[in-house]
Amino acid sequence: MANEEFPLKKVCIICAKGAIEDVYVALLLGNGAVMEGIETKMFFTFYGLDAITKKTMNSLHTSVVGNPALRMPGGIPFPTLLGVLPGVEAAVSAAMRKQMSGLDIPPVKEFFEMIEAGGGEIFACKLAMDMFKLKRDDLWDGVKDILTVGQFYEKCGGLQTQIIVV
């Protein structure tokens, strides 16, 4: 009932992690919001910058070491020790991307294009850009701007705003 009286008007999503599963959470939330007509602003900081960096955006990896939720086929827990072997992380990440593709989940760049086409705005964190020595040209062309945290919060201001951190 509260949702009918006070519908969500704006969502601001902060993505600070670069693992494929973390980035896709942000993308699913962002895309879902624009599909519902909710004003959507996404802010990528620290390792989340990998999601909007041209060189890395379509080759994100999943964490295989220290990931207690990772399962092998059949639901068997993935042995963390295997994650230290060369090529295992790349193979698991490729398998995850293949499985998502089979479910018609778009690749990262295409997901961003859908969010942008729906009116969503994507921003990069100035501090993280400086820390990792990235330039504007390193970023996907759809990134609207490079902002400080304070500037992003200004864009998130207003009534009925939800801030989500991934």
In three-state secondary structure terms, 64 is: coil
Residue 115 contacts residue 27 (beta carbons within 8 Å): yes
CA dihedral for 154, 135, 29, 17, sign (positive or negative): negative
C-alpha distances in angstroms, 56 versus 9, 42, 48, 143, 156?
Answer: 32, 18, 11, 15, 27
The three-point CA angle 117-123-124 to 5° equals 140
Distance from C-alpha of 78 to C-alpha of 81, rounded to nearest angstrom: 9
Distance from C-alpha of 136 to C-alpha of 51, rounded to nearest angstrom: 14
Model pLDDT, residue 1: 42
Q: Which of 133, 151, 146, 108 is nearest to 21 (CA)?
A: 108
Phi, psi at 116, each rounded to 5°: -65, -45
Residue 119 contacts residue 31 (beta carbons within 8 Å): no
Residues of the chain falling short of pLDDT 50: 1-2
- pLDDT per residue over 136-158, tens digit each? 999 999 999 999 999 999 998 87
The three-point CA angle 142-144-148 to 5° equals 135
Please, what are the domains in the chain?
Answer: 8-65+77-165 (3.40.1260.10)
- pLDDT per residue over 28-49, tens digit each? 999 999 999 999 999 999 999 9
Which residues neighbour 24 within 8 Å (Cβ) at sequence distance 6 or greater? 100, 105, 108, 111
Model pLDDT, residue 63: 83
Model pLDDT, residue 166: 65
Model pLDDT, residue 88: 86
